[in-house]
């Protein structure tokens, strides 16, 4: 082979290697993405059926139940329009509570229950995850706040100047 041909083969192999590395990196990133869906979107079937995703909203008052094993917890999450039942096995965050904002990551079961792998709670009195806040504002603006369970109270926002 001549020097020119060797360079072309080297450049071709380098381009092919970079392409393979880029496709592997994109594939790895794609499998780790967990999109956010509101309870209304989950009821509408907009969530992926076979992939991990996040669901968030407010924990409905008087729905927190502990199972006999002591680690499994069941509760309902609402966006003030629809309610999704959630089951989580593990230790809940210290700030987790009824009426508080929550985001859970996991999969939806065939029984309609969201089986969470992780549960995140808000970290202080004024913080709420942006996705949850947007979902609650949308539900309130659409006038569907009253359609949620009677125990699910709409979120109130206080503006201070």
List, for residues 64-89, the tens digit of each pLDDT value. Answer: 999 888 889 999 999 888 999 999 99
Tokens (6 digits) for 6: 């060797």
Tokens (6 digits) for 9: 């083969």
Spatial contact of 64 and 73, defined as CB atoms under 8 Å apart: yes
From the centroid of its chain, how far is CA 76?
14
Spatial contact of 53 and 38, defined as CB atoms under 8 Å apart: no
What is the value of pTM for the model shown? 0.62
Could you state, in chain order, the average pLDDT of each consecutive group of 10 residues for the chain (161 residues)?
88 94 84 80 85 88 88 91 92 86 90 91 66 74 53 45 40
Task: Report the distance separating Cα 30 and Cα 133, nearest Å.
Answer: 26
Task: Report the distance separating Cα 52 and Cα 45, nearest Å.
Answer: 14
């Amino acid at each position: 082979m001549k020097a020119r041909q060797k360079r072309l083969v080297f450049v071709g192999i380098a381009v092919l290697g970079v392409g393979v590395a880029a496709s592997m990196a994109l594939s790895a990133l794609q499998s780790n993405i967990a999109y956010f869906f509101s309870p209304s979107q989950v009821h509408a079937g907009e969530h992926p059926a076979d992939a991990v995703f996040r669901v968030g909203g407010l924990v409905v008052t008087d729905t927190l139940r502990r199972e006999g094993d002591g680690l499994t917890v069941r509760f309902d999450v609402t966006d003030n329009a629809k309610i999704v039942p959630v089951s989580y096995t593990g230790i809940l965050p210290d700030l987790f509570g009824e009426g508080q904002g929550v985001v859970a990551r996991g999969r939806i079961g065939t029984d309609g229950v969201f089986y969470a792998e992780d549960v995140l709670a808000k970290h202080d009195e004024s913080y709420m995850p942006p996705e949850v806040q947007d979902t609650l504002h949308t539900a309130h603006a659409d006038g569907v706040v009253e359609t949620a369970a009677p125990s699910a109270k709409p979120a109130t926002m206080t503006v201070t100047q």
